[in-house]
Structure 1
């Protein structure tokens, strides 16, 4: 029995007042029910909301008892509880006794006849049980995690990714491919804050306002000013945005979360100014797969980011980070094409499929049947819950159905929701005022709501990517969740119609001619072309200056850039102080917004033959990829599947060896399945994959070695420091001083016995602006360590490994601190100090030499 169930039951049965402090109710479903009972208008629950939350409590308790007697509760027949037994029964609750003033009720497992194997495997069982599905544990952290109040990394993948970010060569690009829930966002947030402790800003581009707001919320305890920049025309919103722009120019903003549209528009002047002053630290794209997925469709600003980045790199050097949990081969090709220059491009990947969701699919003969099944699912499945639809109109329709049957604790989100609506929804979602969100794919992207227990698709996503991403918003806490897809024959037609629209060769060629005809001469033999030019000079096109036409023009330039005909660049935005009036500045800024700088790469860019030979293959390839992703989605719907769903996902996300742009290692996907039709039919239990532990990706990371240490190394790469047996406190003080001195001289890797980690981490944090990576001496494997200057502290618990004395894999120096009595690892009848031919010192003279 869960810890607080008896107390909760007593509160419900006696109608007692709610405790002022609910913190001791450890079960999330208990807190959610009590919150609902205690809230007033406008968030007061309906009877159906309360019935479903009570069902969640009872089913959670039944599953916690692992087959014991089903639990029951006496519920009053007074609002907000249901007054009639029909509402309870609709929620899968059995009325054991009915009295004038109460019902005695218990909950039953959900076993719908329209889901195969549901009698043997009730779909709601693992989710109510909160069965742990994730199999990776936190790993010991490095000292700099203290900056965000953390002690451990969430996963080995997160640890290696953050270390890769911090050791990346200046000007490089790193793609980080980690599964949802393994701590991907921290891979940008932590380095950005580390690199801006004195000044600077990192720009994090996010695809949705909801994600910007959510990331701002996560950093609020550590940054005392707004970090999310989004459209808000209220006076408060205008002041907020102006404050962010001012702090960027001053170098005090530290980190900013914004959309690509805002970055290339109103934020551009401030970011350019920061770059000119050398204060731009990182250029980050979160959910970077959206550059391909949305950039190719209705968000062309995503594919304008590479040009803006190139322009900023001409002003200052910074590193680029591309974060994603769903990296396909075509997506990686796109990212490498767009972001691989001018520095090196690498990928760090630890791909494990999501083990939390169990997958259920049901074909519905009609919309009416789908409506009935969806409402049945909503009555029975745990909270919180998300319902996804494809079209905005469908979101309103399903929300109307929830309202019609008596639910109140739901909210809607579409691509047209205002910033205020999104912000309020996320706040209510986190504060447990909303149990159900009905949304298009814009909702949930990267939003950290860990305990979503069910995701329902009332549609067929147009790609396997979109399906996997949306399902992945359930079970982010590592516990079991339910994925239910309800589809009709018409949905597959809708999905097919949503495949990426591709501009034709003829139309694209016309658009390029129209833009180039209106060109202006720019410096350095470049051209300035208008992206608001009409598609052609034809009668029906000449007056077409709308936003949609502008998007197609940008898409045309992107295609040409990918094909190697042109390079898209940016120029510095106009500076307000250079203009005599507001009117002249606004006119110049509008001109800036409506033009792009073009560098001609292929002199035959105006040849139709060049378009057909260089652009058409790219168009056709993207059409083929879109078709393949839809076919994988269709296969997932098969009523008689031929393989586990994890194999379909693995096919989508496995990346093969490639030499297309640069040598690329394969990315292998660790399969996992929380339950699918194929596995249930064969009695295969849910299984997690094992997260791969990636190796360091940088062969030649940037590092600094102080002049004093260089002098003492005397061009050697290995230095031994032997210490005598000394009085403990004096030895420890000197040892700690030496550690701090070595860190200041450029040491980044520290290998010590486990018992010294806490002491050394505390000392490491006393050195400002240092980032130190810790390793256990018993697990010393140089191949798994960044190739950086290293300190090894050897104890006498075990013999000195020969590998300590070999430093052939790295050009970085290694310093070993060890007892003077340490035997020669090749002959234990002699001391190492007596025969070591390289650079060595005794501890006391070394300390005297460096002045500590």
Structure 2
């Protein structure tokens, strides 16, 4: 029995909870003690005590049930409530119950008697199998020394070598560290307070969460969101001022704020050339929400396009759930020099359980049973705001007070408070719509329950993905009724405007166009589509949203291109400024792509297929969700179908997205006795054919238009020569060398030197691997006078980047070991000491 559990036993026996519990290391013990200090409900106590008992059972190997002596007086519950959580009262006296917990084996879940659903959760069984990989020196900027996995490493390296004005889609599994792929380059390229990167996030909760994560590295506010308090206004003004000054470094904001109050500051930053990265986190939302209730998502590309005319920067689109439909959308909106770096491994952590309930009452009973038995923290997802509010009330009534809710109607203050409590372990259950959890990295969620049918397999996979982010086993439980199918079907039917109505809206907007320079037009988005009463009376926000949806649909059909223009400058009077801003907000800049844009036959031939394709993808997504509920094949096969993307040769070549299957347990696998399997994360190949790099003028002079140069040295025993070698390595980094293959004893000194060089970074490799390495300047230092692999000297047809090899004078010729390479190599070569003289070392 461990000391932590012994201490907990003593505390519960005495019944006096200490004020300070910071020394309690076991999370489930600390959560229970915190609850007991803060007037918990009976359901909270029972479930948290069960968590402690079952966790201790698992640690002891299950040889015998762990027992615990607990008070039998309030706030502790009576015997019948303990039994609701499969907790047996073994003995009782006037003051205490002696209790132990049984595995949860509900009769209503198939094979739960053989595979108790809660067992892997309390075992905290590791499921994830990818290992950290050696890091690059610049990771120290965020107090890291390794990448969490190979996908993250190759993604970050691809970001840092992205060509000017290019777009990179980063497709990594949830929990694989996508956020670092944007945050680290943004901070690396603003080390001297001379740059800013903007990160568009779908929810305020995510902006707040990202700000919290970066607090140790960026000490001022970075989350920009609506808050009408005096403090909130000062916060936003401070961010805008720092963007203009180039000292903001990074900012997290919504699409709506980006298009509105942030735009003037970003235009000024672009004019000064200090915009570094333009990032969309959870980029699948560009399609999923941009097509529907957040059209601003699909207006972002227009603003980006206009900013690129002022300032070259890299665009990053981050996602864990890239479908073919989503990729098509992103290519349409962010095309031109767009690449995808992908390392898709399905989540191995969740075990999936599904149960259809014959009535709403039966679903309620089964939900409460699950909540009594499952470990904390856990998330419960519903579809409708009203349903979520009803479930929250049911849980509170059942004695679960450490429970809160989040929906799209939650205020910013409510979201902030919930996230803070959730992180601090002050609440155990969040009941939510899909507004909660997006990108929020709460690592120890052990269970995710759906009391609905998600309208897409995509939404289901994303929400289940909020569990098990620490790589340990978690559970997905879906409780659904027949009525849920109709709700899911209704939500799945995309509210795409008809071509008749769309053409009517477009005609109305285009009739009031204003010509701008460079072939652009300004069109009003607050214009009613007709003079009919139903159109004139339509709420202005609703009317604007439909007009924006019309423009984004036309953009995807290539009839127009949504563009942008610089926001108005301050006028002489406040009223003039307000009017100018009102006009700006109520209009959009566009460029005509098809001169027949007002003809119905063009809408039928160009727009209608886009509408149809959108609906087809949506229907497929729901079909896969229904298939998951039927459990006729392993759920990993269903997810693989959703996220695999075939290669394409026209109109532009596109490499396939390969999915590595994984399953933590599903009805089909349990039926067939298949144990959970994790799959293997694929290692991405370099994506850029012409990555960004520079070669210093001095090195160019010495290369004489060659891209391979050898430098031969005599001995490393000479201390003065070794010091000169360190200086030479630093010189090569200053001249643009990025791929570095050097002995480990030289790395430490070089890393210190590199960190002092402004805007320099290097990638460390153990060996020269031209197929796996980015095609950028490469430096190889060989210490042994042994035969070189042929690829060290062979021409790399895919790269014109220089390759420098420093090697012993006695290195043999790879083609004939009876002679020295220095004597037969006909390309550019130097002896070490003359080379040092040549570069002034």
Would you call these one fold, judging by a TM-score over 0.5? yes
**Which of 563, 572, 576 is the aligned partner of 2:566?**
572
The farther-off stretch of 11-20 and 811-820 is 11-20
Kept in 2, the 8 Å contact 1:97–1:104? The answer is yes
The CA deviation string for residues 93-129 of structure 1, in whole angstroms up to 9 with x for no partner, is 1111111111111111100011000000011111111
**Cα distance, 1:660 vs. partner?**
4.6
- The residue number in structure 1 matching 2:252 is 257
Kept in 1, the 8 Å contact 2:151–2:682? The answer is yes
The CA deviation string for residues 442-467 of structure 1, in whole angstroms up to 9 with x for no partner, is 10000010111000001000000000
Q: Distance in 2 between matches of 1:54 and 1:600?
A: 65
**Which of 238, 244, 247 is the aligned partner of 2:242?**
247
1:762–1:798 Cα change, 3 Å:
farther
1:53 aligns with 2:20: no
Q: Distance in 1 between matches of 2:827 and 2:750?
A: 27
- The residue number in structure 1 matching 2:481 is 488
**Cα distance, 1:759 vs. partner?**
4.2
Kept in 1, the 8 Å contact 2:709–2:829? The answer is yes
- The residue number in structure 2 matching 1:792 is 780
**Cα distance, 1:847 vs. partner?**
1.6
Kept in 2, the 8 Å contact 1:336–1:661? The answer is no
Kept in 2, the 8 Å contact 1:533–1:545? The answer is no
Q: Distance in 1 between matches of 2:596 and 2:496?
A: 22
1:774–1:487 Cα change, 3 Å:
same
- The residue number in structure 2 matching 1:195 is 189
User: Aligned to 2:532, what secondary structure does the other structure show?
Assistant: coil
- The residue number in structure 1 matching 2:490 is 497
Q: What TM-score does the superposition give when structure 2 sets the normalisation length?
A: 0.97
1:355 aligns with 2:344: no
Q: Distance in 1 between matches of 2:16 and 2:187?
A: 48
Kept in 2, the 8 Å contact 1:2–1:27? The answer is no
User: Aligned to 1:544, what secondary structure does the other structure show?
Assistant: coil
Q: Distance in 1 between matches of 2:557 and 2:223?
A: 35
Kept in 1, the 8 Å contact 2:785–2:807? The answer is no
Q: Distance in 2 between matches of 1:755 and 1:427?
A: 45
- The residue number in structure 1 matching 2:579 is 587
Q: Distance in 1 between matches of 2:807 and 2:279?
A: 42
- The residue number in structure 2 matching 1:215 is 210
User: Aligned to 2:804, what secondary structure does the other structure show?
Assistant: strand
- The residue number in structure 2 matching 1:819 is 808
1:633 aligns with 2:633: no
1:135 aligns with 2:135: no
Kept in 1, the 8 Å contact 2:716–2:722? The answer is no
User: Aligned to 1:218, what secondary structure does the other structure show?
Assistant: helix
- The residue number in structure 2 matching 1:610 is 602
**Cα distance, 1:663 vs. partner?**
0.5
- The residue number in structure 2 matching 1:619 is 611
User: Aligned to 1:524, what secondary structure does the other structure show?
Assistant: helix
1:146 aligns with 2:152: no
**Which of 438, 441, 444 is the aligned partner of 2:434?**
441
1:798–1:58 Cα change, 3 Å:
farther
- 1:296-375 mapped onto 2 (5 Å cutoff): 296-341=291-336, 344-375=337-368
1:330–1:99 Cα change, 3 Å:
same
**Which of 777, 790, 795 is the aligned partner of 1:802?**
790
- The residue number in structure 2 matching 1:703 is 693
Kept in 2, the 8 Å contact 1:739–1:763? The answer is no
Q: Distance in 2 between matches of 1:732 and 1:116?
A: 69
**Which of 63, 66, 69 is the aligned partner of 1:71?**
66
**Cα distance, 1:173 vs. partner?**
0.4
Kept in 1, the 8 Å contact 2:380–2:449? The answer is yes
Once superposed, what is the RMSD of the aligned Cα atoms? 1.5
- The residue number in structure 1 matching 2:589 is 597
**Cα distance, 1:64 vs. partner?**
2.1
Q: Distance in 2 between matches of 1:797 and 1:162?
A: 34
1:220–1:521 Cα change, 3 Å:
same
**Which of 474, 489, 502 is the aligned partner of 1:508?**
502
The CA deviation string for residues 18-46 of structure 1, in whole angstroms up to 9 with x for no partner, is 384634x44322232233334x4xxx422
Q: Distance in 2 between matches of 1:339 and 1:3?
A: 57
Q: Distance in 2 between matches of 1:613 and 1:802?
A: 56
1:546 aligns with 2:545: no
**Cα distance, 1:424 vs. partner?**
1.0
**Cα distance, 1:797 vs. partner?**
8.2
The farther-off stretch of 204-213 and 4-13 is 4-13
**Which of 541, 546, 553 is the aligned partner of 1:559?**
553
**Cα distance, 1:389 vs. partner?**
0.5
1:472 aligns with 2:471: no
**Cα distance, 1:327 vs. partner?**
0.3
Q: Distance in 1 between matches of 2:714 and 2:444?
A: 55
- The residue number in structure 1 matching 2:515 is 521
**Which of 90, 97, 100 is the aligned partner of 2:94?**
100
1:194–1:675 Cα change, 3 Å:
same
Q: Distance in 2 between matches of 1:309 and 1:802?
A: 45
- The residue number in structure 1 matching 2:451 is 458
The CA deviation string for residues 62-107 of structure 1, in whole angstroms up to 9 with x for no partner, is 1222231111111123454x14112221122111111111111111
Question: Structure 2: 5+ residue runs without aligned partners?
Answer: none
1:291 aligns with 2:286: yes
**Cα distance, 1:613 vs. partner?**
1.1
- The residue number in structure 1 matching 2:5 is 5
Kept in 1, the 8 Å contact 2:785–2:809? The answer is no
Kept in 1, the 8 Å contact 2:730–2:750? The answer is no
Question: Structure 1: 5+ residue runs without aligned partners?
Answer: none
Q: Distance in 1 between matches of 2:831 and 2:736?
A: 21
Q: What TM-score does the superposition give when structure 1 sets the normalisation length?
A: 0.96
Kept in 1, the 8 Å contact 2:138–2:755? The answer is yes
- The residue number in structure 2 matching 1:204 is 199
Kept in 2, the 8 Å contact 1:184–1:323? The answer is yes
User: Aligned to 1:527, what secondary structure does the other structure show?
Assistant: strand
- The residue number in structure 2 matching 1:849 is 838
**Which of 662, 665, 689 is the aligned partner of 2:655?**
665
**Cα distance, 1:625 vs. partner?**
1.1
State the number of aligned residues: 838
Q: Distance in 1 between matches of 2:744 and 2:433?
A: 49
